[in-house]
Homo-oligomer: A and B are copies of this chain.
Amino acid sequence: MENRIEKIKKQLSSQSYKLTPQREATVRVLLEHEEDHLSAEDVYLLVKEKAPEIGLATVYRTLELLSELKVVDKINFGDGVSRYDLRKEGAEHFHHHLVCVECGSVKEIEEDLLGDVEAIVQTRWSFEVKDHRLTFHGVCEQCQTISSKVNS
């Protein structure tokens, strides 16, 4: 935890940005909720618990900044809200997501399943792939169980 903060601090200062208390509080919230997919509003409310004076605009500005530095990834699951996801240590690619159309839960897949596909795209369409976004829509294990009960 602390060393990840330290790392982010260095990343910031290398581009002459400061890790202000507000920014640190925001980063800490993100670290404590790595599994979730928080919206800016979510982050704001959580940060407010630690630093009540913080403003929503600052949270937006911080998330924007972290996004530029590729510390977080900004995603969009189609509801009109942006969500922010800590990039895992050393991950060079965005991870994949499984979105359940029944309960709305979101699961992350860390493995990169797209190696082959990227190679195909690269050669067949002469497209130099830098990153990707992959989301599956479907029914999660839990909801499959529930609906099979209902239907029996």
Residue ranges of A at the interface with B (Cβ–Cβ < 8 Å):
74, 76, 78, 98, 101, 107, 109, 113-114, 116-118, 120-121, 125-141, 144
Contact A126 B144 (CB under 8 A): yes
Contact A128 B144 (CB under 8 A): yes
- CB of A132 within 8 A of CB of B136, answer yes
Copies of the protein in its oligomer: 2
Would you list the 4 A-B pairs with minimal beta carbon distance, nearest first? A126-B141, A128-B139, A130-B138, A129-B138
Please give, as numbers and ranges, the residues of chain B lying within 8 Å of A140 by CB-CB distance. Answer: 126-128
Cα A140 to Cα B126 with chains together (Å)? 7
Q: Which residues of B contact A128 (CB under 8 A)?
A: 138-140, 144
